[in-house]
Amino acid sequence: MRNILFFLIILGSCTSKQQTEKSASPMTWYKGNTHVHTTLCGHADSHPDTVAGWYLDRGYNFLILSEHNQFIDPKSVNLPRNRRKDFILIPGEEVTDYKHVHTTAMNIDREVPVKYPTDLSKWKDAPAWNIKPFLMQIHSDSIRSVGGIPILNHPNWQSGVAASEIEQVKGLNMIELHNGHPDAYNFGNEKHASMEQKWDSLLTAGRRIYGVSSDDAHHFKKWGVDESNPGRGWVMVHSNDLTPDAITDAMIQGDFYASSGVMLSEIIVSEKGYEIHVDEEATYKETESPFVVGYKKDSGEEGFVIEYITDRGEIIMKKSSILAKVEIPEGINYMRGKVTYSRKRSSDYEQFFAWTQPIFLK
């Protein structure tokens, strides 16, 4: 029998529920953003209260105010007293370092004490030393030392980090596959492979890494595709409780998917296969919002495509449909799913995505 180390079954509606009471704590899909900035960093335009209020007003269930090297205590954030009860702030920050290495610290209770070696000046300027794996390791270890969970941010921003560098970091199990900042280059550029290529390289190398989608928004006053606005990337987390610990635990287990617009109604993974159902109505609703930004293509075909991807990024099934099921082949290391929704706008096509998490088979 196949040795399935990771076995997951997810059932249910993916629409985020805004109920005020839960009786038997049924599994629910919660919409959240793990990465956003405020005036406290000096280069974003809105106060933490305003930023949190934006997500509260738009149906999100959780938010991390991930300020650069600053812990924002959720207790210090003022939200309306009579607000809906299914919205929480998960405490965090963005550990921000040299060489464009940034890491979200999820679910911490204090500012992360980043622990550099005492001979800082020696390694900082060492030309022959590839410093990025070292910095990422310091971030991961420092975040975990205060009970937090690290998410490596925007690996394609500026000089970025290569998959071979991420692969060396121990204790890192989540990366931003999609980041809504206009300079994040999720789909690659002249310096970087696409984030999906990097993810597949890591998974092929045997790393158990889940993919996150976030906003990294800085601007809530000026709007445009070239601005760093909110509403472009989120995660849908499957959990029976909406608490910082429950959401964090679900993400650690891979019980979530990353989205830039596509919503799902079911993900079913069993010994026999992997099955994805698209929630068309919820996807149309999300992608008609003024906040999402599609990935531009000059050619294409409208509609939904579901793909299943395995070792080295090989696509083993591609189906134009809102439902696709595949049998898990023998001898693979991992399998993940991806849904693309394409639509035509003037002469261009725009694409929106949902990326489901890999199952690991070895």
Nearer to Zn ion, 155 or 254 (CB): 155
Length of the chain (residues): 362
Q: How far is the CB of 219 from Zn ion (least distance, A)?
A: 12
Q: How far is the CB of 34 from Zn ion (least distance, A)?
A: 10
DSSP letter (8 states) at residue 90: P
Nearer to Zn ion, 35 or 238 (CB): 35
Separation of alpha carbons 94 and 186, rounded Å: 19
Q: Which of residues 137-156 bind Zn ion (CB under 5 A)?
A: 153
Q: How far is the CB of 44 from Zn ion (least distance, A)?
A: 9
Q: Are residues 360 and 334 in contact, defined by beta-carbon separation less than 8 angstroms? A: yes
Q: Which of residues 291-310 bind Zn ion (CB under 5 A)?
A: none
Nearer to Zn ion, 153 or 310 (CB): 153
Separation of alpha carbons 190 and 159, rounded Å: 11
Half-sphere exposure of 251 (CA within 13 A, CB side): 32
Which residue stretch of 21-29, 211-219, 261-269, 315-323 sits at the interface with Zn ion (rule: CB under 5 A)?
Answer: 211-219
Q: Are residues 108 and 89 in contact, defined by beta-carbon separation less than 8 angstroms? A: no
Which residue stretch of 18-26, 96-104, 225-233, 302-310 sits at the interface with Zn ion (rule: CB under 5 A)?
Answer: 96-104
Q: How far is the CB of 52 from Zn ion (least distance, A)?
A: 16
Q: Which residues of 92-123 are buried (b: 16+ CB within 10 A; e: fewer)?
A: bbbbbbebbbbbbbbbbeebbebeeeeeeeee
Among 31, 102, 207, 336, contact with Zn ion (rule: CB under 5 A): 102
Nearer to Zn ion, 86 or 94 (CB): 94
Which two three-digit tokens encode residue 316?
């083993």
Q: Output the residue with the shortest Cβ distance to Zn ion.
A: 102
Site membership for Zn ion, residue 216 (CB under 5 A)? yes
Please classify residue 25 by burial: count the beta carbons closer than 10 Å to its beta carbon, then call 0-12 exposed, 13-18 middle and 19+ buried.
exposed
Q: Between 66 and 95, how does the x/- string for binding to Zn ion read (CB under 5 A)? A: ----------------------------x-
Q: How far is the CB of 174 from Zn ion (least distance, A)?
A: 15
Q: Are residues 115 and 143 in contact, defined by beta-carbon separation less than 8 angstroms? A: no
Of the candidates 254, 260, 255, the residue with the CA atom closest to the CA atom of residue 283: 260
Site membership for Zn ion, residue 218 (CB under 5 A)? no
Q: How far is the CB of 68 from Zn ion (least distance, A)?
A: 7
Which residues make up the interface to Zn ion (CB under 5 A)?
Answer: 94, 102, 153, 216
